[in-house]
A and B are shown apart, each in its own frame.
Chain A
């Protein structure tokens, strides 16, 4: 809001107080005006009476110089007479409108009678000057008769007017009471109106402050989601409100930013933890591999010796067995990649199967089912099939008398490569399955990791976003199937 004269806090305060004052002053002025007007009306009703009374008294006073002049012909008396006559004539109101009121009509007639009397007096003076004694004596008698009648008429007018005023006064008082009642209602209403206007102005000016206080309380409670305070029409308050709203919004922005940074940090820490775990696993894997490599070097030499011995002694089957064993070890040792083509895994498994068939020629069926086109098109984490088959051989067929079978199958459903290792062994307890699928944190797990557990953990690390990457279906006495679902459309997470 732009600062202007009208929206300044001080100006608004002054205006509201001054406005209320002006309203009260104006209404009081009106009350005073109406009261004065009523008084004037009462006074006016007596004005006419006062005027006619004054004229009557002047007429009586007029008789003195009139008689004196007629008696003495005094020039002073004549001068006084003329002056008084002129005064009387000027005191008589001009004959303009004809009134309808009966008393005023009589009053009008009385003024005409006075003028006639004054004219008569002038004629008497003229007759006196002309020394027409009989004339002025007769006229004087007539003027006296007229004056007497005038006095009676004025008396009558006064008494009739008084009677009329008595009636009118009652009506006037009743009407005046009405005026006073409306005036009282008016001043009370205006006072309350002004008071409420001032209250509204105060509320308008202090409302944003109250809302500011409420908002400050909420902010202190940590609630930065409250709405902005609306603007008032007061510049100074709007300035504070605007600053407060800006401060609140800035704080909220900072807090959001801090939260975002915290999230990033947490995610970073989680990622780091994962990487640490990965490193640990890889390290363990390496240790495991090294441990595994210890024997193969010794076994290579031994196997070569045995193979040479078998050739020398013409034991071809033994030689072939030795060769496959050697191929298997070489296969395991040679490849250092983390992700390998499916073909690599299948090759190693073929070597391993040959050895197992030699070991268990009668009671172990090994089936490897895969479409040829998948071998080069799909890549999988290294060493995920052989440990599972090994796990079956070691754990699944304990205390089992019948025919054992292990079926390794690879197939593709859409973009998902499904690898399964199924046995018809004794199955796996549910607790073991739960432990395998929800392994302990790396720092809590033992350094010795079983082959199956290692495969599962690696799959989880390589595919952290897919909790269904490995599933175990097992039933007591009905065997176990470990199903791995690898989304070939997604790159495995191998960076750490």
Chain B
């Protein structure tokens, strides 16, 4: 081997390494540059970019302060509709303490969905202020009578009463003695209790033999337990109890089990919570009334969009009532 051969061999290897290094680091630099740039761009777009789909309207929804599963499903339905129709929704409280409904006409929204759980006169005053500023309003869950009625989305409570009666008659026979438990947790039904009771009466082959016993629970979810205890002790001849709230239904079912009155006292529940379904399977609850809050929320936004775009929509949309019993499970 000559003196020059070794350095030349090393030089050749060094040259090859330099070429490989140039390619490797060049590619690495390009990849890291691309990834960094993409990340910065993504952060920039996320931070300040416009909506992927431009939104056409801004609607507000006024609901009770305390949200149970019913109103959560109403909101879910509204959000689904908002996504579908390309509108934005903001959720507000209807509580008079917060004054949000009072200020609603000044918020510049394109329409409002209101669940008017208040005195009808107060509701009419508030809703009229919307009309004065040409803000379309859709009522849900509870209708407010007016000369120029606002579009209403919800269940027909007369129908609810009829379905309740159907379950009771099927479970306890035509001559049942019933008690109905209203609740602040379901103010819509309570507000239209006359309609419900009319439905109950109309569905009975004969009018109930005794006058209907009425109870009312507060927003406390455990309130129904004590009320049912007292009722069953005080009125041992009652063989059907009708509920208008899912929490009350579950609490009362446990009381009936505890008092060993299963079979003698038939329960007509409200809602389709898993607990209620479980009691229906076990035969503790004869059946349950199921309304569709998600459908109410969806339909409310749809009606508002129609009002904004065409100026017209249905005055009343019945979202329907179903019966959940052992046969339908």
Contacts and interface: CB of A to CB of B under 8 A. Distances in A.
A30 B32 CA distance: 12
> Looking at chain B, what size class is its interface with the partner chain?
35 or more
Given A41-B47, A44-B47, A95 B19 contact: no
B55 interface: yes
Interface in B58-101: 58, 60, 87-91, 99
A400 B91 CA distance: 153
B225 to A, nearest CB: 36
Contact of A98 (B18, B39, B58): B58
> Could you say which of B56, B89, B108 has the most chain A C-beta atoms within 10 Å of its C-beta?
B108
B90 A97 contact: no
Contacts of B106: 112-113, 116-117, 146
B4 A214 contact: yes
A109 B25 contact: no
B312 interface: no
A210 B58 CA distance: 77
A41 B44 contact: yes
Contacts of A178: 39
Contact of A185 (B28, B39, B109): B28
Contact of B103 (A34, A45, A98, A113): A113
Nearest to A34: B40
Given A149-B103, A196-B18, A172 B51 contact: no
B258 to A, nearest CB: 43
A199 B18 contact: yes
B259 interface: no
B107 to A, nearest CB: 4
Given A182-B39, A197-B22, A105 B90 contact: yes
Secondary structure of the B side of the interface?
A: helix
Contacts of B91: 102
Contacts of B7: 210
Contacts of A11: none
Interface in A155-189: 172, 175-176, 178-179, 182-183, 185-186, 189
A414 to B, nearest CB: 54
Contacts of A185: 28, 32
Interface in B1-27: 3-4, 7-8, 11, 14-15, 18-19, 21-22, 25-26
B311 interface: no
B108 A37 contact: no
B257 interface: no
A31 to B, nearest CB: 9
Contact of B11 (A116, A176, A192, A210): A210
Contacts of B89: 105
Nearest to B41: A37
B327 interface: no
B121 interface: no
A95 B108 contact: yes
B51 A38 contact: no
Given A116-B106, A178-B39, A98 B56 contact: yes
B130 to A, nearest CB: 14
A111 B14 CA distance: 68
A108 B47 CA distance: 18
B99 A183 contact: no
B51 A97 contact: yes
A218 interface: yes
Contacts of B99: 145, 149
Nearest to A199: B18
Given A41-B44, A44-B48, A182 B19 contact: no
Contacts of A109: 60, 90, 107-109
A203 interface: yes
Nearest to A211: B8
B236 interface: no
Contacts of A360: none
Nearest to A117: B106
B41 to A, nearest CB: 9
B29 A175 contact: no
A469 interface: no
Which of B7, B26, B39, B51 has the most chain A CB atoms inside 10 A of its CB? B39
A106 B108 CA distance: 11
Interface residues on A, range: 35 or more
Contacts of B90: 102, 105-106, 109
A112 B36 contact: no
Contact of B50 (A97, A116, A189): A97
A186 B33 contact: yes
Interface in A109-133: 109, 111-113, 115-117
Interface in B104-137: 106-109
A99 interface: yes
B210 interface: no
Given A99-B88, A199-B18, A203-B18, A105 B58 contact: yes
Given A44-B47, A113-B103, A146-B103, A193 B33 contact: no
A45 B43 CA distance: 12
B40 A189 contact: no
Nearest to B28: A189
A50 to B, nearest CB: 15
B35 interface: yes
Contacts of B211: none
A192 B99 CA distance: 65
A200 B44 contact: no
A481 B43 CA distance: 114
Nearest to B42: A175
Given A149-B103, A178-B39, A210-B11, A196 B22 contact: yes
B57 interface: yes
A190 interface: yes
A196 B36 contact: no
B274 interface: no
Contacts of B4: 214, 217-218
Contacts of A111: 108
Nearest to B107: A109
Contacts of A294: none
Contacts of A210: 7, 11
Nearest to B53: A100
B40 A37 contact: yes
A99 B58 CA distance: 9
30 contacts: A30-B33, A34-B36, A34-B40, A38-B40, A44-B47, A44-B48, A95-B108, A97-B50, A97-B54, A99-B51, A105-B90, A113-B108, A115-B108, A116-B108, A145-B99, A146-B106, A149-B103, A153-B103, A178-B39, A182-B39, A183-B32, A186-B33, A190-B25, A192-B21, A193-B25, A199-B18, A203-B15, A203-B18, A207-B11, A214-B8
Interface of B: 3-4, 7-8, 11, 14-15, 18-19, 21-22, 25-26, 28-29, 32-33, 35-37, 39-40, 42-44, 47-48, 50-51, 54-58, 60, 87-91, 99, 102-103, 106-109
Given A109-B90, A189-B28, 5 more contacts: A44-B47, A100-B55, A179-B39, A186-B36, A203-B18
